[in-house]
Amino acid sequence: MWSADRAALRGVFYTAWRHFREHAPLDGVEALVVEALLAHPEYQDLFVDAPSFAAAMTQTTSDVNPFLHLGLHIAVAEQIATDRPPGVIAEWQRLEGLWQDGHRARHAMMECLEETLWEAQRQGVAPDDAAYIERLRAIPKGRPQKS
């Protein structure tokens, strides 16, 4: 899925949703894309047809970039599946247990991941796994989350 070509990378979202709607087999990361889209019906129309997708590719007025948001969902799902960085599964279990809401827990993790990635990009360094885990550990039970 990872590519330097932004259009090709975003095309994976379109293809995955088309495969899902056509009841075709999902390849590799497509299952994670579909899982994220099923959790976010507000984005599904962006991937229904070529004109909607083309509009989404150039949209700059939204407060939320659907590709970034869905990409963070995928990244967190992969982290949980592999416990990478080490400690992610424990934090996922803690947050999901506190809120009894896996989607809310993933969103909390996504906020921490986004902050970690932004910081690394700003400094021109690799993301700091230890800082990311510490951000996850610092999430209190009642912290309000974005959807």
Query: Given pLDDT bands bounded at 50, 70 and 90, which one contains residue 133?
Result: very high
Q: Which domain holds residue 45?
A: 1-63
**Which tokens hold the place of 129?**
């796994």
pTM: 0.84
Tell me which residue of 55, 58, 13 sits closest to 32, measured CA to CA.
13
Could you read off the pLDDT of 25-50 as tens digits, one per residue? 998 899 999 999 999 999 898 888 77
Is 94 part of a structural domain of the chain? yes
Judge whether 81 and 129 are in contact, CB under 8 Å. no
User: Across the chain, how many H-helices and E-strands are there?
Assistant: 8, 0
Is 58 part of a structural domain of the chain? yes
Q: Tell me how far apart the alpha carbons of residues 147 and 109 are, in angstroms, rounded to a whole number.
A: 12
Residues 6+ positions from 44 with CB-CB distance below 8 Å: 17, 37
**Which tokens hold the place of 47?**
């991937």
Q: Do 57 and 88 fall within a single domain?
A: no
Q: Do 88 and 49 fall within a single domain?
A: no
How far, rounded to the nearest angstrom, does the alpha carbon of residue 74 sit from its chain's CA centroid? 4
Q: Tell me how far apart the alpha carbons of residues 99 and 93 are, in angstroms, rounded to a whole number.
A: 10
Could you read off the pLDDT of 64-109 as tens digits, one per residue? 788 889 999 999 999 999 999 999 999 999 999 999 999 999 999 9
Q: Do 8 and 49 fall within a single domain?
A: yes
Is 36 part of a structural domain of the chain? yes
Q: Which region holds residue 87: left if phi is over 0, alpha if psi is between -120 and 50, else beta?
A: left
Q: Do 41 and 97 fall within a single domain?
A: no
Question: What is the reported pLDDT for 1?
Answer: 47
Q: Do 21 and 57 fall within a single domain?
A: yes
Which of 10, 29, 63 is where one domain is finished? Answer: 63
In terms of residues, how long is the chain? 147
Q: Do 87 and 147 fall within a single domain?
A: yes
Is 68 part of a structural domain of the chain? no
Q: Do 100 and 52 fall within a single domain?
A: no
Q: Do 107 and 145 fall within a single domain?
A: yes
Domains held by the chain: number: 2
Query: Given pLDDT bands bounded at 50, 70 and 90, which one contains residue 61?
Result: low
